[in-house]
């Protein structure tokens, strides 16, 4: 047998390398996400991968809803460690049914019910999907309200004039003054 390099040997080697590279990374649909090891169905007639470990970021974990898995909306990027099919791991996931639109330099954590968005101006918003976040009260706002309510002395039949006077003294009389003023950084629903 000749040790000389031939076009046939080159083609055979190229085929093995291409297969290894092709097996390295796959886009799959999640079939089951119960427990720590998941099942993934490949595309185009590929076999199901059982016992797939999901590598998730430190301090962060997520799992698609059962509906997303059943409907085929839960997708993943599956890598085969060393290019061999015997050691699959999931390195990224998404649920096609709940995409979120982001502006430049924004980050979101969300599921099918709620979203926490870090905006490009540094504000943080938390709301239900489709909800409208508003400024949240600060501790100082709450303390001011507590002060008014605990120092106010009700006067019989004054129609609330004593409470109004205590509120004006604490918060001011301007008609557009909103109490509580709220934080400009954190908004919620």
2: its two tokens: 């000749």
Q: Identify the pLDDT of residue 141.
A: 81
Which residue segment(s) compose the domain that 82 sits in?
7-98
Q: Identify the pLDDT of residue 147.
A: 83
Identify which of 142, 133, 128, 124 has the alpha carbon closest to the alpha carbon of residue 186. 124
pLDDT in tens, 78-88: 888 877 667 88
Assess if residue 1 is contained within a domain: no
Q: Quick check: 177 pLDDT over 80?
A: no
Name the pLDDT band for 179 (thresholds 50, 70, 90): low
Work out the average pLDDT over 140-151: 82
Final residue in a domain of this structure, among 40, 63, 98: 98
C-alpha span between 187 and 178 (Å, rounded)? 15
Same domain for 105 and 188, yes or no, is: yes
CA atoms within 13 A on the CB side of 136: 13
Same domain for 12 and 58, yes or no, is: yes
Dihedral sign, Cα of residue 62, residue 74, residue 127, residue 109: positive
Same domain for 82 and 142, yes or no, is: no
Tally of structural domains, the chain: 2
Structure pTM? Answer: 0.64
49 CB contacts (<8 Å, ≥6 apart)? 28, 39, 40, 41, 42, 78, 85, 88
pLDDT in tens, 30-77: 888 887 788 888 755 566 778 888 888 888 888 888 888 888 889 999
């Amino acid at each position: 047998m000749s040790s000389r390099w031939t076009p046939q040997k080159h083609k055979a080697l190229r085929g093995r390398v291409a297969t290894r590279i092709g097996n390295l990374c796959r886009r799959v649909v999640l079939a089951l996400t119960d427990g720590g090891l998941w099942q993934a169905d490949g595309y185009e007639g590929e076999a199901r991968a059982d016992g797939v470990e999901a590598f998730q970021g430190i301090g962060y974990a997520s799992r698609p809803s059962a509906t997303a898995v059943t409907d085929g909306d839960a997708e993943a990027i599956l890598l085969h460690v060393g290019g061999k099919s015997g050691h699959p791991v999931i390195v990224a996931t998404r649920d096609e049914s709940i995409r979120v639109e982001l502006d430049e330099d924004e980050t979101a954590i969300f599921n099918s019910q709620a979203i926490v968005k870090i905006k490009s101006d540094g504000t943080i918003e938390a709301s239900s999907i489709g909800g409208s976040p508003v400024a949240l009260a600060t501790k100082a706002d709450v303390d001011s309200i507590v002060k008014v309510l605990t120092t106010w002395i009700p006067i019989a039949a004054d129609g609330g004039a004593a409470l109004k006077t205590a509120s004006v003294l604490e918060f001011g009389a301007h008609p557009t003054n909103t109490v509580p003023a709220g934080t400009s950084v954190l908004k919620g629903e």
